[in-house]
Structure 1
Amino acid sequence: MISPTEVVKRVGVGGRLVAFFKAVCVYFALAPAAPPSAAAVAAKVAPVLCLLLLVLLPRAHPRAPTPAQARYARLVGAGLALSALGDALLVWPQHFVPGMAAFAAAHLAYISAFGWGASWPLAGAACYAVTGYFLTLLAPPAGLRLLVPLYGALLATMAWRALAQARARPRRARAAAAAGALLFLLSDALLGYSLFGGAVPYRRVAVMSTYYVGQLGIALSALDPPALLAAPSS
């Protein structure tokens, strides 16, 4: 797994995660008092944009990435960019549906990155079963009664594909994407329940902390050296 020591080590390599952690601190310092505004958008999307730059900017590796590895990074970058768009839209409650659509597109990008090469149907069944049960706890308004289950199915698929990919890859590579996807799933579950189920204590902290760490995990999966992102082992 990606241990705290490993995260600290990654921060120390060129300080590449310092900007992300600073942006997260700024968001939690400013968000409680920030009304919907351009400043609120900037504070909310800054951590994800830091991860996007981290994934897309060239880095020195002993070996150049293969086309498949470069494609993985591009798709993860697309997912981060679409997530940032979704974050910006959700600052204004009236843009909830467009924001959900942006995040749905982000999940499609992540699903494409994780691929369909590894199976693991048991993990898929677990993801869909847990998501299906969770959806019974929600009571979305009439206009969202179809969209919320569709979004939930897409999110469960993203988590399944991350878990399946992780099972087929070397140990260090497997933890980042899988843990990130599961935390993303948890973040959306907390947000969905707070909107359509009941109260969630410390909602903003619970939702956004799991969201940012989840995105960090997915981004880190694109930063492993080429040898760790090679084709899945048998």
Structure 2
Amino acid sequence: MDILETDAYDRRQRRNMSCALFLSLLPFFVASAVYFYLWTPDSPASIMSAGVKSAPTLLLALVVLSWNGAHSVLGVAGGLLFSAVGDCCLVWKELFLYGMGAFAVAHLLYSITFLTSRYATYSSSSLNRFLYLILFVAAVGFYVYMFPFLQKAPNSEVIIPAVGVYMLLIILMGSLAIKTRHAATLLGSLIFMASDMALALQIFKVMPHMEHGNTIVMVTYYLAQLLIAVGDVKAVENKDDFSKWKRS
């Protein structure tokens, strides 16, 4: 098989994989649509609302498990499962800290995954270091801006350090996503940060109530998780392409 035939075969394989992946993601799209159809601003906290909210994330975890195997429980699939736990906790305001803890574990699992050999790794460049610096400065600036509002929280003595640790973990996740240079993974991580910032601004009453505030948070959240999941499924494919480029 010559180079042209090999290239054509690889393109067919990628097309087939993309089609199969899209079909496996259909339940996620349906579950997301169901959530937005059923959710209303005055929806009471209940087991049903928690289940509907966490269903899209659980379905993404199943997709990653089906493509990457049981070992992904200690990676992105596990992160998605912890995210689903966080989704359920955030339905009840009194469980906010538990939800934040679940998402912190998810970010840690994502970070560990981005360091594994499944992702093609690149040497750190000046551009990467510049992006790391931007992330860090933006996060510190946001935390400083939020600090007066965190002090007003009922359990501020716990909230203030907890939010600080959480922000460090999500910055770590975003920095390692940059290092992979994988578009879906990087975009997913950055959108996740934007979603969390939008949520924090509303939870800690930094801004007045927004009519579509929850919609903004959940659309960006589901999109972020989708991109991270797709990035993980395609990580091996991209690594193989990187290996071929190095051998050529």
Q: TM-score, normalised by structure 2?
A: 0.77
| Greater helix proportion | 2
Cα distance change on mapping 1:95 and 1:126 into 2, 3 Å: same
- Please give the alpha-carbon distance, in whole angstroms, between the structure 1 residues aligned to 2:234 and 2:44: 38
Structure number, greater radius of gyration: 2
Query: Could you give the per-residue CA deviations for residues 29-74 of structure 1, whole angstroms, max 9, x where no partner exists?
Result: 1121531111101110010011011000147xxxxx9xxxx85675
Cα distance change on mapping 1:121 and 1:71 into 2, 3 Å: farther
1:104 paired to 2:108: no
Which residue, 55, 62, 66 being the options, matches 1:46? 55
Summarize the alignment of residues 1-234 of structure 1 with structure 2, pairs less than 5 Å apart.
10=18, 15-32=23-40, 34-58=43-67, 74-115=74-115, 118=122, 119=124, 120-138=128-146, 139-140=149-150, 141=153, 142-143=156-157, 144-166=159-181, 174-196=182-204, 197-199=206-208, 201=210, 202-224=212-234, 226-230=236-240
Instruction: Decide whether the 8 Å contact of 1:73 with 1:222 is kept in 2.
Output: no
Cα distance change on mapping 1:223 and 1:104 into 2, 3 Å: same
Instruction: Decide whether the 8 Å contact of 1:123 with 1:164 is kept in 2.
Output: no
- Please give the alpha-carbon distance, in whole angstroms, between the structure 2 residues aligned to 1:89 and 1:129: 30
Secondary structure of the corresponding residue to residue 233 of structure 2: coil
Aligned residues: 211
- 1:135: how far off? 1.3
Between the aligned residues of both structures, percent identity stands at 31
- Please give the alpha-carbon distance, in whole angstroms, between the structure 2 residues aligned to 1:43 and 1:82: 16
**RMSD between aligned residues:** 2.6
Secondary structure of the corresponding residue to residue 198 of structure 1: coil
- 1:181: how far off? 0.5
Q: Larger relative contact order (C-alpha < 8 A, sep ≥ 6)?
A: 1
Instruction: Decide whether the 8 Å contact of 1:165 with 1:232 is kept in 2.
Output: no
